[in-house]
A = this chain, B = another copy of it.
Amino acid sequence: MKSVAILGHGTVGSGVYEIIEQNNKYMLKTYDEFINVSHILVRNPENHKDIKSSLLTTDFDAILSSDCDIVIEAMGGIHPAYDYIRRSLEHRKHVITANKDLIAEHGSELLEIAYNYNVTLNYEAAVGGGIPVIKTIRESLSAHRLNSITGILNGTTNYILSKMHEENISYDEALKGAQEAGFAEMDPSADVLGFDAARKLSILTQLSTGKQLKVKDVLIEGITNLDDKDISTARKLGYKIKLISKLIRYEHCLHAFVKPAYVRSTSQLGLINNEYNTVVLDLGQIGQMTFSGKGAGKFPTGSAIYGDILDILLNDKHQTKKPLVPTKICHYAQGYNDWLVRLYSLNHPIDLEKVFKFFNQGNVQIEDFTDPHDLAFTIQGMSETNLIDSIKKLQNLNIISVSKYFMILE
């Protein structure tokens, strides 16, 4: 029997509590084990009349001095969550959290504390609740070097992009629909600007490479600038735009980005729609490995946390990995890629001849030029630095005013 304290009783906290209660019979039957919820930390016990009052407490120190074994942080935010986690670890209590903001920012430090106090810090639910990828990376894939991670790591943006493609609606309309359906927060910035995905990519990278990748090392571009023509061009080509999170491990550096990119509608990535997430690991000798599932929600997150409890319950040797090592970051994709480029000219029509002087014309295909101020074309086999150079020159010569470009992935 292990005793568990849950900090917070919102969506995640109440989901975990429910799942623990539902599964104790199964736990006893299968593992001869039992999980006892000893405390639920809330701000105002009056608001939680559905819970036995003896469980509720407003006093975190009472939890620290109790003999509970595991603390589940389900409050969110950095403060006081950070402080509570740190002190729990220092009191030799295992900690489970789904708080990706916290893990992305303080994970390295908290893992070191857990390591020193010989307890476990588990955070499976911090990266795609419905995809148990962290445990897999930690235990099953240790034998192989990871070449790249490619993911759709944010359910909100994937839901919005799916609706833009399916229903032919604008970003604003799709966002409104997502908010009404409960798939986007009232303040959706962290999701739609790409920060949430970047935090998850940072966690996955640190875990699978042992190298430090801070959120600020990830090139981040959200989905707020996508317009109808981006979507219609993709559709015409048989592609979809997805917010892709990608880590590439080069010999001497890591390259990481979260950006909208083109993927074929009928590819594995193109088929991940709505609130579903996916992670594709490229593992050299053993090939690609793919995990997909719902990225978030009360039960996926609660279930991931429950898995983290079970992990602690069944495993007595709580060795957290050693502290992360700093690493070199490179800011552009190396080698050659295919791109979809959008060029705008505010003042005068675009002069194709002048534009294509800066690209290898053999590899160029015009995709949309119905508006002479707005050119969309694809280009094959160009390095990202060359692409950026060419675009900059076009801007300096005043041939175009604004530009954007997307990597074409598969």
Contact surface of A with B, Cβ cutoff 8 Å: 19, 22-23, 26-27, 29-32, 124, 129-132, 135-136, 139-144, 210, 265-268, 271, 276, 285-294, 297, 299-300, 302-304, 306-307, 310-311, 314-317, 319, 321-322
Summarize A's interface: helix, strand, loop or mixed. Answer: mixed
Cα–Cα distance between A271 and B288 once the two chains are bound (Å) = 13
Q: Which of B290, B292, B314 contacts A139 (CB 8 A)?
A: B314
**CB atoms of B289 and A319 under 8 A apart:** no
Q: How far apart are the CA atoms of A276 and B290 in the complex, in Å?
A: 11
Q: Could you jot down 10 A-B contacts, CB within 8 Å?
A: A22-B143, A32-B322, A124-B140, A130-B287, A132-B141, A142-B310, A143-B306, A286-B293, A289-B293, A291-B291
In this complex, what residue of B is CB-closest to A22?
B143
Q: How far is the CA of A29 from the CA of B142 in the complex (A)?
A: 12
* Also in contact, A286 and B300, with CB within 8 A (given A271-B266, A314-B315): yes
Measured CA separation A319–B28 after assembly (Å): 12
Task: Report yes or no: A23 in contact with B307, Cβ–Cβ below 8 A.
Answer: no
The distance from the CB of A306 to the nearest CB of chain B, in whole angstroms, is 4
> A141 to B307, Cβ gap below 8 A?
yes
* A30, B287: Cβ atoms closer than 8 Å: no
A302 proximity list for chain B (CB < 8 A): 143
Copies in the complex: 2
Chain B, residue nearest A313 (CB):
B317
Of B293, B297, B317, the contact of A290 (CB 8 Å cutoff): B293
Give the distance to chain B from A265, nearest Cβ to Cβ, in Å. 8
Report B-chain residues with C-beta under 8 Å of the C-beta of A136. Answer: 132, 135-136
Cβ of A142 and Cβ of B304 under 8 Å apart? no
Would B139 and A307 count as touching, CB distance under 8 A? yes
B294 and A287 contacting across the interface, CB-CB below 8 Å: yes
Report if A23-B299 is in contact (Cβ < 8 Å); known contacts: A29-B322, A271-B267, A289-B131.
Answer: no
Which of chain B's residues has its CB closest to A270's CB?
A: B266
Complex Cα spacing A210 to B292, Å: 24
Contact check, A294 vs B286: say whether CB atoms are below 8 A apart.
yes
| Bound-state Cα–Cα, A399 to B47, Å | 71
Q: Which of B29, B140, B303 contacts A132 (CB 8 A)?
A: B140
Q: Give chain B residues whose Cβ lies under 8 Å from the Cβ of A314.
A: 139, 315, 317, 319
A166 to chain B, nearest CB (A): 15
User: Least Cβ distance of A107 to chain B in Å?
Assistant: 16
Which residues from B are CB-within-8-Å of A299? 144, 285-286
The residues of B that contact A293 with a CB separation of less than 8 Å are 286-290
Q: Which 9 A-B pairs have the closest CB atoms?
A: A140-B307, A132-B140, A315-B315, A266-B266, A289-B293, A316-B316, A143-B306, A290-B292, A285-B299
Query: In the assembled complex, which residues on chain B have CB atoms less than 8 Å from the CB atom of A124?
Result: 140
Query: Known: A271-B266, A293-B289, A293-B290. Is A135-B143 also a contact (CB below 8 A)?
Result: no
**A303 surroundings in chain B (CB, below 8 A):** 140-141, 143-144, 285-286
Known: A271-B268, A291-B291, A307-B141. A321 touches B31 (CB 8 A): yes
Docked-complex contact B19 and A304, CB < 8 angstroms: no
Partner of A292, one of B130, B135, B289: B289
How far does the Cβ of A170 sit from chain B's closest Cβ, in whole Å?
27
Q: A140-B310, A143-B302 known; 13 other A-B pairs, CB under 8 Å?
A: A27-B142, A29-B322, A132-B136, A135-B139, A139-B307, A139-B314, A140-B304, A267-B271, A285-B299, A286-B299, A289-B293, A290-B291, A314-B315
